[in-house]
Amino acid sequence: MTRFGENNKTTGIKYGLVVRTYYKSAHVVGTIKVPVNALDKMTDTEHLKITVMQRMIAPSTKSASKPTSTFKDVPLSNEAHARQPASLKASGAALATDKSGKAIDIISLSTGRPHPRYYPFESVDFAFTTVNSSSSGNEPSAKTFGKTRTARYDIAEQNAAIDLSVALSYGYSAGSEQLIKVLTEHIEAVHDPPYSDWNCALTVGSTSALDLAIRTLSEPRDGVLVEEYTYSGMIEFLQPLNRKIVAVPMNQGGSCPDALDTLLMHWDTTLPKPRLLYTIPTGQNPTGITQNMERRRQIYKVAEKHNLLVLEDDPYGYLRFTEDKLPSYLSLDTSGRVLRFDSTSKTLSPGLRCA
């Protein structure tokens, strides 16, 4: 999720499909046609206007009418503070306009971008199974197929909103605009975050996204709260990042909110207090536990009390085939402290590397 101009001293990086990032305004503007020497002179409002202008494929959501989130004190790491806008993109943008700001017809060599006519792909065809409403869900439908073709210049020929000339070139750091649009609308339809200042970003998998989140929101030697039994991959990348693993006791309902509260209430004041809570709320790995609604509300209440950010890793959330619908932490998030990590690995295929 993204806030534009939230903190002019920091630069955010993408770190998950449904996440919160905090950008220096120039970071956003550096990817479009704005002279470099104008970046420091622009107000946050002007940056926001330019960002909106850039979003030609904006998602259709109702979030703009909601209030903004109340969680403002975001604990960015020194690594996050040290990150800077892409100077190469900004310099290329400066060359694309004259002194009056008018666009110049110029071929930029700044990024070493090959011309699409030299891509060795003319078109890509996909055939896919569609949902069979009469299926029990135990077997995939093999009777009905949908088909689509994406060619090199579909946009120019007005056949589609994306084509291979765009898809195979350098894109936005947050991911494909077309896919971001679909995912943003999906997140709002399914989770409906209670505030307006959220957005989506894409990474190459949830493990990578979590790695980026940990590095952006904590320092070496900081503690990270994890469930007593947790995903082994989380342990394996926390250790080389030099983060202290802090186990939260569990029972048959998942993480114990009272135990979490007690742990933080009696934290050793000579050590940095954890500010990140990692949880797998649905089909928890390795226990298989799914937190019920009351447990999720209790955990979230403790997170608010101790000013924690909640890393909601929910790859199995869409595989829960029961009539009662459990709210995600994101849907319960009234203050803006939840970073949700979704993945295509369990619902489409792991090799897509998309989260």
Q: What are the DSSP calls for 85-115, one per residue?
A: --HHHHHHHHHTB-TTS-B------TT-PPP
328 in Cβ contact with 281 (< 8 Å): yes
336 in Cβ contact with 326 (< 8 Å): no
Q: Do 211 and 338 reside in the same domain of the chain?
A: yes
Q: Is residue 196 part of a domain?
A: no
Domain-terminating residue out of 70, 95, 110: 110
- Any idea what the CATH number is for the domain that residue 252 is in? 3.40.640.10
Give the distance, in angstroms, between the CA of residue 301 and the centroid of all CA atoms in the same chain: 23
Least confident of 40-44, 112-116, 122-126, 244-248: 40-44
Q: Do 102 and 138 reside in the same domain of the chain?
A: no
Q: Is residue 197 part of a domain?
A: no
Q: Parallel, antiparallel, or unpaired: how do β-strands 145-151 and 123-129 relate?
A: antiparallel
Q: Do 145 and 124 reside in the same domain of the chain?
A: yes
Chain-wide mean pLDDT for the chain? 78
pLDDT number for residue 148: 66
pLDDT band at 21 (very low <50, low <70, confident <90, very high): very low
pLDDT number for residue 139: 58
Q: Is residue 87 part of a domain?
A: yes
Q: Is residue 174 part of a domain?
A: no
- Nearest Cα to Cα of residue 155 among 145, 147, 165, 140: 165
Q: What is the pLDDT of residues 232-250, one digit of tens each?
A: 999 998 999 999 999 999 9
Q: Do 217 and 324 reside in the same domain of the chain?
A: yes
pLDDT number for residue 3: 33
Q: Do 125 and 234 reside in the same domain of the chain?
A: no
Structure-model confidence comparison of residues 345 and 224, the more confident one:
224
- Report the C-alpha gap between 172 and 178 in whole angstroms: 11
Q: Do 245 and 326 reside in the same domain of the chain?
A: yes
Provide mean pLDDT across the span 332-344. Answer: 94
Least confident of 55-59, 163-167, 346-350: 55-59
Domain-terminating residue out of 110, 131, 149: 110
Record the pTM.
0.77
Structure-model confidence comparison of residues 225 and 172, the more confident one:
225
pLDDT band at 25 (very low <50, low <70, confident <90, very high): very low
Least confident of 75-84, 88-97, 179-188, 218-227: 88-97
Q: Do 45 and 139 reside in the same domain of the chain?
A: no
Q: Residue 50: pLDDT above 50?
A: no
- Report the C-alpha gap between 177 and 190 in whole angstroms: 20
Q: Do 345 and 208 reside in the same domain of the chain?
A: yes
Helix (H, G, I), strand (E, B) or coil at 68: coil
Domain-terminating residue out of 110, 131, 155: 110
Structure-model confidence comparison of residues 134 and 233, the more confident one:
233
Tell me the two tokens of residue 307.
């000013």
Least confident of 3-7, 201-205, 345-349: 3-7
Q: Do 329 and 207 reside in the same domain of the chain?
A: yes
pLDDT number for residue 51: 36
pLDDT number for residue 297: 98
Q: Do 337 and 223 reside in the same domain of the chain?
A: yes
Q: What is the largest CA-CA distance in the chain?
A: 66
Q: Is residue 39 part of a domain?
A: yes
Structure-model confidence comparison of residues 48 and 111, the more confident one:
111
| 52-56, 83-87, 146-150, 186-190, range with greatest mean pLDDT | 186-190
Q: Is residue 52 part of a domain?
A: yes
Q: How many residues does the chain have?
A: 355
Helix (H, G, I), strand (E, B) or coil at 146: strand
User: In the block, which residue shows the tokens 């589609």?
Assistant: 160
User: In the block, which residue shows the tokens 């799914």?
Assistant: 290
Structure-model confidence comparison of residues 127 and 254, the more confident one:
254
Q: Is residue 313 part of a domain?
A: yes
SS (H, E, C) 190-251: HCCCCCCCCEECCCCCHHHHHHHHHHHHCCCCCEEEEECCCCHHHHHHHCCCCCEEEEECEE
Provide mean pLDDT across the span 16-41. Answer: 33
Q: What is the pLDDT of residues 56-75, one digit of tens each?
A: 456 767 787 888 888 877 88
Q: Do 253 and 132 reside in the same domain of the chain?
A: no
- Report the C-alpha gap between 6 and 73 in whole angstroms: 10
Q: Do 240 and 303 reside in the same domain of the chain?
A: yes
Q: Residue 264: pLDDT above 90?
A: yes
For residues 132-143, b (16+ Cβ closer than 10 Å) or e, as one string?
eeeeeeeeeeee
Q: How many structural domains comprise the chain?
A: 3
- Helices and strands (DSSP H and E) totals, the chain: 11, 13
Neighbours of 153 (CB within 10 A): 16
Q: Is residue 103 part of a domain?
A: yes
Q: The domain containing residue 81 runs over which residues? A: 2-110
337 in Cβ contact with 310 (< 8 Å): yes
Q: Parallel, antiparallel, or unpaired: how do β-strands 254-255 and 250-251 relate?
A: antiparallel
